[in-house]
Amino acid sequence: MGGRNAKTCGTFRRWIALTMTAALTVLGGCQPFPAHLDPLSVNGRDGGDAPPTYAALMRIGNAARAGGDYSNALSVYRRAAEIETRLPEPFVAIGDTLLALRDVNEAIIAYNSALARDGPYGPALHGLAKAYIETGRPELALAPLNSALALRPSDPKLLVLLGVVEDVEGRHQPAQAYYRQGLRYAPGDPALSVDLALSLALSGNYSNAVALLQPVAMASSGTAQERQTLALIYGLEGSVAEAARIARMDLDEAAVEHNLGYYHTLRELSPEERDRAVRSAGLKNPARPSAS
């Protein structure tokens, strides 16, 4: 989907905005960056006691990132990468943190730096694929995804990303095959289930999409995004009353009416135009978790 808009990595369902406020336009894509630049910018060491070891720095960085302190995590990972310059792990950690900060281009540099050190390193390939998807150039993600899948053929996180690439390119049948393969390895995984349901809806298979998604979205553990994706599917199908009922579980009346108008607009489009509109709207909101 060359020349399409930027940044999710991440799964397909979270590209659909909770209140569907995205415009139906496509932004220009980003180009891949050189493979051998290192994203290191921390020079020197603090005075005083002996500097922390590489292992200690990685633990500190992981704790900071887990707590949402991405800026400090990034600085600590860069210190770790200065100490062990030949290891890929700190560069993957740098890339993951930059991706969380939505600095996709720098994340691509970091992942390529990891690959320059260890060849086909699975976590770096996975991260690079997510970054490429988020640039709006999903075709660039296919090479790292296929290399990673050769290393871990039963990894549902890779299968869901392959499905996302196929969906974004409008190839829904191959996408659904990847999602179903992922569900064989991770039965009941919500991310895979929701992605498959949305893909089914985009290919016009509304009844199966609802049957798959409804138990997930309406369970006690269901999330607002899962419920609103179900509302979208009902809206695409033309089941307006049911779409409104589901939407009201999370949204105020103004947002519900906005969404119902959006669904009506989508139904007026040709199947091809509707598919592009939903996908481009989703690309405006691409924060996407990996499948579990």
Name which of 144, 178, 88 is nearest 80 in CA terms: 88
269: left (phi > 0), else alpha (psi -120 to 50), else beta? Answer: beta
| 168 — pLDDT class (breaks 50, 70, 90) | confident
Contacts from 184-188 at CB under 8 Å and sequence distance 24+? 185/154, 185/155, 185/156, 185/159, 186/156, 186/291, 186/292
> Which CATH number do you get for residue 105?
1.25.40.10
Q: Under a CB-based contact definition with an 8 Å cutoff, are residues 134 and 10 in contact?
A: yes
Question: Can you read off the two tokens belonging to residue 85?
Answer: 């310059």
Q: Is the pLDDT reported for residue 36 higher than 50?
A: no
| 138 — pLDDT class (breaks 50, 70, 90) | confident
Q: Is residue 243 domain-resident?
A: yes
Q: Is the pLDDT reported for residue 210 higher than 50?
A: yes
Name which of 288, 3, 24 is nearest 169 in CA terms: 3
| 9 — pLDDT class (breaks 50, 70, 90) | very low
Q: Average pLDDT in the 151-170 region?
A: 91
What local confidence, expressed as pLDDT, does residue 192 receive? 93
Q: Is residue 149 domain-resident?
A: no
What local confidence, expressed as pLDDT, does residue 84 receive? 95
Please tell me which residue, 55 or 37, carries the higher pLDDT value.
Answer: 55
Instruction: Indicate the residue type of 237.
Output: E
Please tell me which residue, 282 or 178, carries the higher pLDDT value.
Answer: 178
Q: Is the pLDDT reported for residue 223 higher than 70?
A: yes
First to last CA, the chain: 26
Q: Is residue 226 domain-resident?
A: yes
Q: Average pLDDT in the 217-230 region?
A: 94
Number of domains in the chain: 2
Q: Average pLDDT in the 41-62 region?
A: 75
Q: What's the rounded Cα separation, in Å, for the pair 12 and 213?
A: 14
Q: What's the rounded Cα separation, in Å, for the pair 290 and 105?
A: 19
| 98 — pLDDT class (breaks 50, 70, 90) | very high
DSSP assignment, residue 33?
P
Q: Under a CB-based contact definition with an 8 Å cutoff, are residues 132 and 141 in contact?
A: yes
Domain boundary among 106, 134, 162: 134
What local confidence, expressed as pLDDT, does residue 136 receive? 80
Question: Can you read off the two tokens belonging to residue 196?
Answer: 């498959």
Q: Average pLDDT in the 256-265 region?
A: 95
Same-domain pairing of 160 and 289: yes
Same-domain pairing of 69 and 176: no
| 61 — pLDDT class (breaks 50, 70, 90) | very high
